[in-house]
Amino acid sequence: MATLQKIRSKGPLLLIVIGLAMLAFILGDAWKIIRPNQGVQYVGTIDGTKITAMEYQAELENYTEVMKFANNIQEFNEDQNNAIKEEVWAVMVRNHLLNKEAEAIGLTVTDAEVRELIERGTDPILANTPFVGEDGKFDADNLKNFLALYNSIDANMVSAEEYSYYQTLYKFWLFIESNIKSSLLYSKYQALINSAIVSNPVSARNSYENRIKRADVLLASIPYSSVADSDVKLTSADIKQAYQENKEMLYTYSENRDIYYIDYEIQPSEADRKAMMEETNDIVTLLEESDDDYASILRRAGSVIGFSEVARSENNLPGDVVIRLDSVKVGGVFGPYYSDYDDTYNAFKYLSSENGYDSIQFSMIQVVSDDEEANIKRADSIVNALKKGADFAEIALKYNQSAPLQWLAADSYEPANITGENALYINKLNSMKKGEVAVLNVSSASLILKVFDTKTPLKKYNLAIVKRQAEFSDETSNEAYNKLSLFVAQNQDLEQFKANAEDANYRLLYYPAFENYNQNIGGVAKSHDALRWVFSAQEGEVSRIYEVGNANDHLLVVGVEKIHPRGYRSIEDATPSLTLKALNSKKFDVLKSKLAGKSMDELKSVEGVVIDTIQYVNFTNPAYVASSVSNEPTIGPSVMNLAQNELTVPMKGEGCVFVAEKINADSYFTEYDEEAEKLRVRTLSSRDIVNSVLEELYFQAKIVDERYKIF
């Protein structure tokens, strides 16, 4: 029971400070992503199986809840939400493909195997659960105790916050258990493939020698950039040859589109800024006249920093405030002033200062019942016993609590806007001395607190800080919108749109091969509606204006130039990306004659040739060539089998033409172990083969991802 109480004793700091977050996602209202769209029922297809919007949403919400719980986060930002969407889809695809393969070959994972793995506690994911012992390792007994309690718990016997926490923790465990089962199936599939891979003495010896052999190389190189593009004539045959040589790199697994777009960021005008300064000056008057109600003043002011009833140290105050603290006395107001560092209009009132700590080590006993008066009497009795010398941990055990020591760091709570009982709780701890015992009565419990240790006494400040982000007015927004609207109306043809944007002082941006998994356009927040338009538009179309950005502070217009269907890109579409390769091939034909048949001494006098020494070249690692600023993977293999002072023929590199001479060969000593080397070869090969198998499964499954239509 004591082990179980260790899990429970994560609160009240957990239960009080983040209890509302836990309750929110238990109710399932924390994050509603799916948009009402009755015309679309599916978000994609995996190997012929259609994935419904409801199926995807269920996985999305479940994973989001788990991540919130694991990270003690109430809400994720847009980037985090987008990352979660991609992770959930990737896992759904992988599990679907893997389960199909496993079913076809009779590969299964039994519940007994999952239980055995949990009992061993060796899976890394288990160490990141609350079910760990004093050594920080997973404790299966800890888990069993929790599950036993959860199955027998009576919601009427515990507080609502505590019951919500247990429900959340149980959901978290179900996710972990499912993850373990999926990972175990993947490991079995991987092991099955690995068992088909064998090594032999010849491959083991080659692997060993390729690792230990190395050489210093004298390199003569001429960068392709030394030949002007205009001096090389490309033909359609050259492009066709480059296309055939690189065709496998030109396959796309999903449709993509080349787009042009204008992303216009609306900025406050001079009139807007003047008005904000005047408004901030009015707020200063309110701060000067008020003795309380600072939270309301800051809310009405639209301050990005809310009022907190917990004092903050300098580390958790804005830098522009800290440097001005010495300029105002307690009770005084500083401002208004403008900060160009974060483009804000500011003022603050210095309410008071007090002493606190950077970190506090404490323990706690909770006295919880529906009878508040009984709670207080029992808490007083416990405090009296502790003051007479009773052991804190032993008394906690009498109340079925383990009361572990825990550290509370100022950086973990000072950035938040803390009020009410949360503030009472933290302020009480900061007011206590090392070794002191005190009781704090809150609405749902009486808390007996003991401070065991503290770190770094700090001066902390109670401030009412007004920090207003510079904003544009409706007039400024309307003016920007009307101006761009006129431009769009006059340039509905994409070619006109492209030709006239710069003249109209709009920055035109190009995004080739744009795919729908990007979630937004050009990294602009809340531009998903524009993304949907892109994948419904035809070539040459120009969109309407989209008001996007976190504060509707961007105006976005998009044009679709080219639609590339799934599959191999046509030679016409691929020509721009192949031109450089084709040019370099032609330049190689021009430059190789400068290097052919010459000694290294003769090459030193050839115009454009750069001579350099590269040390420790080996078979497996690319060599960096400074003259062409390129990594050249062919230098090592080209010299390994040469005799001392022997030269290669002119070689076609990534960024240059080169001739290499082996000038010094050696090897770093490591004893040859045939069995170990065979294992190494199998391990490296299996990794590549497993990845190739999964890639082929993905290729054959013909994945269709249309989540952008709804999510």
Please write the tens of the pLDDT for every residue from 187-203. 899 888 888 888 888 88
What six digits make up the tokens of 475?
Answer: 């007039």
Of 160, 181, 204, the residue nearest 107 (C-alpha): 181
pLDDT for residue 39: 53
Calculate mean pLDDT across residues 232-252. Answer: 91
pLDDT for residue 371: 78
- Please determine, for residue 41, whether its predicted confidence score (pLDDT) is greater than 70: yes
Which tops the pLDDT comparison, 532 or 710?
A: 532
Which tops the pLDDT comparison, 271 or 388?
A: 271
pLDDT for residue 270: 96
- Please determine, for residue 362, whether its predicted confidence score (pLDDT) is greater than 90: yes
131-163 pLDDT tens trace: 887 677 888 888 888 888 888 887 777 677 778
Residue spans of alpha helices (H) in 657-673: none
Question: Do the beta carbons of residue 703 and residue 45 sit within 8 Å?
Answer: yes
Quick one: 448 exposed, middle or buried, by C-beta within 10 A (0-12, 13-18, 19+)? Answer: buried
pLDDT for residue 698: 87
- Residue ranges per structural domain of the chain: 2-194, 209-253+571-667, 256-267+472-565, 271-469
Distance from C-alpha of 547 to C-alpha of 146, rounded to nearest angstrom: 50
- Please determine, for residue 1, whether its predicted confidence score (pLDDT) is greater than 70: no
**pTM listed for this prediction:** 0.71
Q: Given pLDDT bands bounded at 50, 70 and 90, which one contains residue 208?
A: confident
What are the beta bridge partners of residue 252? 567
**C-alpha separations of 125 from 62, 72, 150, 180 in Å:** 17, 17, 21, 8
Calculate mean pLDDT across residues 679-683. Answer: 83
Which tops the pLDDT comparison, 20 or 517?
A: 517
Question: Do the beta carbons of residue 645 and residue 651 sit within 8 Å?
Answer: no
Q: Directed axis angle between helix 236-245 and helix 571-595, to 10°?
A: 100
Topology (CATH) of 271-469: Chitinase A; domain 3 (3.10.50)
Of 190-194, 471-475, 499-503, minimum mean pLDDT range: 190-194
- Please determine, for residue 8, whether its predicted confidence score (pLDDT) is greater than 50: no
pLDDT for residue 161: 75
pLDDT for residue 273: 97
pLDDT for residue 237: 94
Quick one: 28 exposed, middle or buried, by C-beta within 10 A (0-12, 13-18, 19+)? Answer: exposed
pLDDT for residue 434: 94
Of 484, 521, 518, the residue nearest 500 (C-alpha): 484
pLDDT, averaged across the chain: 88
- Please determine, for residue 589, whether its predicted confidence score (pLDDT) is greater than 50: yes
What are the beta bridge partners of residue 659? 220
Domain at 256-267+472-565: CATH code: 3.10.50.40
First-to-last alpha carbon distance for the chain, in angstroms, is: 45
pLDDT for residue 418: 93
Q: Which residues, including other chains, have CB under 8 Å from residue 359's CB and lie 6 or more apart?
A: 407, 408, 409, 410, 454, 455, 456
pLDDT for residue 311: 97
290-300 pLDDT tens trace: 988 899 999 99
- Please determine, for residue 38, whether its predicted confidence score (pLDDT) is greater than 70: no
- Please determine, for residue 29, whether its predicted confidence score (pLDDT) is greater than 90: no
Q: Given pLDDT bands bounded at 50, 70 and 90, which one contains residue 40?
A: low
415-425 pLDDT tens trace: 999 999 999 99
Quick one: 373 exposed, middle or buried, by C-beta within 10 A (0-12, 13-18, 19+)? Answer: exposed
Beta strand pairing call for 256-265 and 508-514: antiparallel
- Please determine, for residue 45, whether its predicted confidence score (pLDDT) is greater than 90: yes
Calculate mean pLDDT across residues 456-465. Answer: 96
Question: Do the beta carbons of residue 437 and residue 338 sit within 8 Å?
Answer: no
Of 660, 683, 521, the residue nearest 215 (C-alpha): 660
Q: Given pLDDT bands bounded at 50, 70 and 90, which one contains residue 23?
A: very low
Q: Classify residue 524 by its DSSP letter.
A: B
Q: Given pLDDT bands bounded at 50, 70 and 90, which one contains residue 621?
A: confident
Calculate mean pLDDT across residues 105-129. Answer: 89
626-677 pLDDT tens trace: 989 999 999 999 998 889 889 999 999 999 999 999 998 887 777 888 888 8
Q: Given pLDDT bands bounded at 50, 70 and 90, which one contains residue 355?
A: very high
- Please determine, for residue 343, whether its predicted confidence score (pLDDT) is greater than 70: yes
**C-alpha separations of 342 from 338, 346, 460 in Å:** 9, 11, 23
Domains 256-267+472-565 and 271-469 share a fold: yes
